Amino acid sequence: MMKSLVVWASGSADLAARRAKEGATLLVLDPRAEGALEKAGLPFRRPPTSPETADAVEVAVRTWARVWGRLPLVD
């Protein structure tokens, strides 16, 4: 069985519930989204880092995607 990790920042609690029902783990990046998931009774995890570290990771990911996304898939 394959499990999915869903990175959650905002959106419908119904969509989150469907993903959780499918067996996905919800990882909440935006603390404001926690309230809706808690109210819906959905289990979720928080990243083990500070918001500043998460911001730095996001910048690194965007930079990586910007550079590597322009390269051809085949030489």
pLDDT tens for each residue of 2-48: 678 888 888 888 999 999 999 999 999 888 888 889 999 999 998 87
Whether residue 75 is contained in a domain is answered as no
Whether residue 74 is contained in a domain is answered as no
Whether residue 23 is contained in a domain is answered as yes
Whether residue 33 is contained in a domain is answered as yes
Domain that holds residue 60: 5-68
Q: Count CA within 13 A, CB hemisphere, residue 38.
A: 8
User: pTM for the whole thing?
Assistant: 0.59
pLDDT reported for residue 54: 78
Distance (Å) of CA 63 to CA 49, 54, 58: 20, 14, 9
